[in-house]
Amino acid sequence: MKSKLIENTPVETAGARDLALVGVGYWGKNLARNFRELGALHTLCDLNETLLAGYGADYSDVVKTMDFKAVLADSRISKVAIATPASLHHPLVRAALLAGKDVFVEKPLCLGEKEAEEVVAIARERNRVLMVGHLLQYHPCVTLLQSMVARGDLGKLYYITSNRLNLGKIRREENALWSFAPHDISVILSLVGQASRIQVACTGAAHITSGVADTTLTTLGFPDGIRAHIYVSWLNPFKEQKLTVVGSRGMAVFDDTRPWSEKLAIYPDYLSRDSLGNPSPVKGSVRFPVVPEAEPLRAECLHFLECCVGRGIPRTDGPEGLQVLRVLQAAQTSLEQSGAPQYLAQS
């Protein structure tokens, strides 16, 4: 059974100060803050000496090093969090697991399926925790939505749409699909559940940097007619982070740009039928369930620490990260083939 998400776990249950963070820049600084506040941060590691020097008085008791091998050799460190460029994930994750460390790695798990399969196998063989940073799965609104779908509150699933749009940050290597879509793919797969077969199609365009798609539209087809659409772009005049789930008995919208009390909206019984069975829409019926406010990244970091201490299976473990990677790779192949559908058989 997978370990439950921690919500109000006292800091002292997180374990000893025995975690090293590798990669302390753009996103790593947020992980550093959370792991430090949780009392787990022991070492900061980065090849950029200037970045390390930028961590001030709040990190005066934290070791700073440019030597990853020293991190692996340090017996005081039992956990490693990795927030480096994705091209480095495989060698760093592999080395940390082989050194006997539990590992948290930001998405994607790796860039290649064989690489991901290798680190998943190593983690299993060595009984190490391997967790992937699919942050959206740790948002309280998403966890509530997952519970509602699992209970059947929305009825039979029809389709899911996800829009993740913004102006920037424009990358020159990683395209919008790989940068934005992993979180949405992870959540959509969790909502649909285990599927024997997935059809993946993706189209997009590169406008700013040749060969690097700025915008993509990915379509996922599941058994029983369930469909999902994921639209991502960093060339949009406004920020939009919206997930819509439509079922036979209700619809739900998670809009992460709204105030907390309005982030999750439920539209129950959106259809009515006359005496002949003809459907008509029911508009204006909406409710906002009460969701305790909490920082998703803190919940994610807590979850990793709890799994390490209790030897639990993370919600977004290695196999889950591998499944997301396979969908990403199929979407990338389809993108390169002008939208030709790809088919994934799930074991």
Instruction: Give the closest residue to 139 by CA, choosing from 255, 50, 39.
Output: 255
**β-strands 264-268, 250-255 pairing:** antiparallel
Give the residue from 99, 133, 167 where a domain finishes.
133
Answer whether 204's CB lies under 8 Å from 177's CB. yes
Judge whether 266 lies within some domain. yes
Same domain? For 114 and 158 the reply is no
Number of domains in the chain: 2
Euclidean distance between CA atoms 108 and 318, whole angstroms: 11
- Distance of alpha carbon 3 from its chain centroid, rounded? 17
Same domain? For 181 and 269 the reply is yes
Euclidean distance between CA atoms 91 and 266, whole angstroms: 43
Kind and range of the H or E element at 343? strand 342-345
Same domain? For 231 and 191 the reply is yes
The pLDDT of residue 10 is 40
AA identity, residue 210: S
263: left (phi over 0), alpha (psi -120 to 50) or beta: alpha
The pLDDT of residue 7 is 38
Judge whether 309 lies within some domain. no
Judge whether 27 lies within some domain. yes
Beta bridge partners of 64: 44
Judge whether 5 lies within some domain. no
The pLDDT of residue 20 is 98
Which residues of the chain register pLDDT less than 50?
1-13
The pLDDT of residue 15 is 55
Judge whether 4 lies within some domain. no
Euclidean distance between CA atoms 62 and 15, whole angstroms: 16
Same domain? For 165 and 241 the reply is yes
Supply the CATH number for residue 35's domain: 3.40.50.720
Same domain? For 96 and 175 the reply is no
Same domain? For 183 and 213 the reply is yes
Same domain? For 162 and 263 the reply is yes
Same domain? For 15 and 54 the reply is yes
Supply the CATH number for residue 190's domain: 3.30.360.10
| Structure confidence by residue, pLDDT tens digits, 77-99 | 999 999 999 999 999 999 999 99
The pLDDT of residue 194 is 82
Give the residue from 107, 133, 159 where a domain finishes.
133
Kind and range of the H or E element at 299? helix 296-310
Euclidean distance between CA atoms 149 and 14, whole angstroms: 30
The pLDDT of residue 285 is 82
Same domain? For 67 and 182 the reply is no
Is the Cα torsion angle 217, 221, 225, 228 positive or negative in sign?
negative
Judge whether 311 lies within some domain. no
Judge whether 53 lies within some domain. yes
Same domain? For 143 and 289 the reply is yes
Same domain? For 269 and 213 the reply is yes
Residue 211 has φ and ψ, to the nearest 5°, of 85, -5
Give the residue from 133, 155, 180 where a domain finishes.
133
Residue ranges making up the domain that contains 91:
11-133
Kind and range of the H or E element at 64? strand 63-65
Judge whether 2 lies within some domain. no
Helix, strand, coil percentages, rounded to 5, for the chain: 35, 30, 35
pTM for the complete prediction? 0.90
* Number of residues that this document lists for the chain: 347
The pLDDT of residue 11 is 42
Same domain? For 224 and 332 the reply is yes
Reading the block at residue 306, the tokens are 């709890």
